[in-house]
Structure 1
């Protein structure tokens, strides 16, 4: 790390390299923070979490009890031990509360003044954050499993909604025809994943095939499908060039977004017994990037492009349903059926004693992901 700092000071290195190295070190040292609690409000399992992208300070949670909670993640007390307090909640006594389980909550990507929620009560609701009242509600014929807004779109405010009916509806009234939709607007109960052009109502661009078109190697049931089981989770890398999908066949696959090709990265068995949508997430600003995937009562951390299992984060008592990454400080938050939200924080560096010599310091093994390989021209000579 010192070599990276010296190279940066001398103007010999890209400023992003130091930042990525430190971000990677922090992710690799994630641990359950015993000094930070998240106030427990939900009376049943937590299905979904989302941190607003503007400041990275406020977090939404939605639970099986239909309750939505808004948290402030900032430590206003400046004490070492503190609790992330719930600023407000849409509780069971709220006039606009969802009647059944909330499956997805999402902040409006460009403004914390609005967020959205969808529920098994067949509704999608638009909320005014300041008044905590429902500004609008859309009702559907089938159970709503999930919804999603583009994080980068600026010319439209389309919301894609996945329901039990055999179509995906995007408000305002965009409709994509397809089979039974399971969780997100590309996730299918029949194991297929479809990519759509939102500019056209019937604009299916492609269907992802785990065998990359080699039908001779595929059974008739698995042909032209992304997974042999239900697809219940997907997440794009931050640059949008790759897509990760999970299925109840206990597999996770990485796809090239441009070609639709299965990259054949082997993640091994990824235990997935969830009957509903599984919300997993990918790090941002690291090298390599990491995927945080609910794995029964733990969270498995994989390198995205090599499939290596780095570690398992343990702390929940029952199955983990969702996790969300905070890129500003490389923190992770997870929600579980045990009704708890846990905070995973990078371990602090141990302070070096003033009288300690370099030879007396313990030699620690560095992970190759952030090992300092820089040397000056004098050293090379």
Structure 2
């Protein structure tokens, strides 16, 4: 019996168990989400408007509708795209609906390193740049409502996805001090001191609104409670306190090199870090313990922030990491390299997971944004095969491992 018919039977089993009340309603959803991620392939029918004249450093998809995507480039340009397909045709282009281009007097003068939507509506977004500024934009007018000026290049900023009690933006620059800027007052209200080199990445916890993680070129990752004035909660230690394994200079370091990537899992229970030592590590975010998951060599040539992503709603979850001109997909808790997504002509610098559709978008130095989408299930392809022979070709790209998502899904 083929993988395809097994999947169809298992889907029928899920539906039957669900209807009779014998199964967790989330189980089928998790299994289908997992199948979709395991079958990701480059979408030959979907293009994203090519607007940037240089590499794409950062992308972000808003969480309110899941419809609009931001991008920021090495050319200083910011673009907003509409991801919806209104044409009714199989082949379509995600159109750029507005651009802060070189002709705008508000455009960033140098490379845009981070863009992020305001988490609670699409009326505002924030960008930061090597021109030493962070700008808070009104989406409708495409003019800055606020501009924060810093002494050095801005590598990274982040707004909390859940905060209701504060409106702080954490900012990492080439100064070791982390800046906390208040969107309500328009002022810098606090600095966090503890790093000894430039801060390359900052991320708020999606679980606790006052918890912040910061990564630096000093090889360290600090976790902070911003309500406390007396330093970080803890510093991640790759050796979990075993001095015998650590050289004198490696004590309390997360990596043996610059730490340039941070990403929490969607539930906030784990934190992933990447470093220029070509390693990725998974940490318990509450205790700071290194879980010792071995992902092997995770190629990392970036001297700046690396934007990577974690899936959501799968069982197990997956990590998407730029790796040269490809995106490497790893199983979060086993470290297994599941697949390599190849399609860019130059290095990939950022990727973003679309949690509503289990799709992935990646941007690179080739100035392209590529869409990676799930392959249709066999039943869906068979329904369409009379009209379109593309289904058979697409099916061959499915990772055979997808059947395991149905048979071994964890409750």
TM-score range, shorter chain: over 0.9
Q: Deviations over 1:288-312 (max 9, x none)?
A: 0000000010000001111010000
Q: TM-score, normalised by structure 1?
A: 0.93
* 1:327 CA drift (Å): 0.7
Is 1:168–1:181's contact at 8 Å kept on the other side of the alignment? no
Q: Deviations over 1:226-266 (max 9, x none)?
A: 00010000100000000000000000000000100000000
Q: Deviations over 1:60-103 (max 9, x none)?
A: 00000000000000001111000000000000111111000000
Q: Decide whether aligned partners of structure 1 residues 201 and 138 sit closer, same or farther in structure 2, where only a CA change above 3 A counts.
A: farther
Is 1:61–1:105's contact at 8 Å kept on the other side of the alignment? yes
1:69-218 equivalent positions in 2, closer than 5 A: 69-172=79-182, 173-178=189-194, 179-185=196-202, 186-218=214-246
Greater shift in the superposed pair: 146-155 or 215-224:
215-224
Query: Runs of 5+ in structure 2 lacking a partner?
Result: 1-10, 183-188, 203-213, 385-394
* 1:190 CA drift (Å): 1.2
1:1-381 equivalent positions in 2, closer than 5 A: 1-172=11-182, 173-178=189-194, 179-185=196-202, 186-350=214-378, 351-352=381-382, 367=402, 369-372=404-407
Q: TM-score, normalised by structure 2?
A: 0.87
- Whole-angstrom distance in 2 between the partners of 1:168 and 1:368: 45
Q: Decide whether aligned partners of structure 1 residues 157 and 373 sit closer, same or farther in structure 2, where only a CA change above 3 A counts.
A: closer
> Structure 1 segments of 4 or more deviating over 2 A?
200-203, 349-354, 364-369, 371-374
- Secondary structure of the residue aligned to 2:199 is coil
Q: Decide whether aligned partners of structure 1 residues 202 and 122 sit closer, same or farther in structure 2, where only a CA change above 3 A counts.
A: farther
- Whole-angstrom distance in 2 between the partners of 1:216 and 1:143: 38
State the Cα RMSD in Å: 1.6
Query: Runs of 5+ in structure 1 lacking a partner?
Result: 355-361, 375-381
Q: Deviations over 1:291-347 (max 9, x none)?
A: 000001000000111101000000001110000000111000000000000000101
Q: Decide whether aligned partners of structure 1 residues 126 and 224 sit closer, same or farther in structure 2, where only a CA change above 3 A counts.
A: same
Is 2:178–2:199's contact at 8 Å kept on the other side of the alignment? no
- Secondary structure of the residue aligned to 2:163 is coil
- Secondary structure of the residue aligned to 1:348 is coil
Q: Deviations over 1:201-243 (max 9, x none)?
A: 4431000000000011111121110000100001000000000
Is 2:47–2:370's contact at 8 Å kept on the other side of the alignment? yes
- Whole-angstrom distance in 2 between the partners of 1:58 and 1:181: 31
* 1:180 CA drift (Å): 1.8
- Secondary structure of the residue aligned to 1:285 is coil
Greater per-residue helix proportion: 2
* 1:285 CA drift (Å): 0.3
- Whole-angstrom distance in 2 between the partners of 1:257 and 1:117: 27
Q: Decide whether aligned partners of structure 1 residues 373 and 233 sit closer, same or farther in structure 2, where only a CA change above 3 A counts.
A: closer
* 1:39 CA drift (Å): 0.3
* 1:366 CA drift (Å): 5.4
Is 2:48–2:369's contact at 8 Å kept on the other side of the alignment? yes
- Whole-angstrom distance in 2 between the partners of 1:112 and 1:193: 31
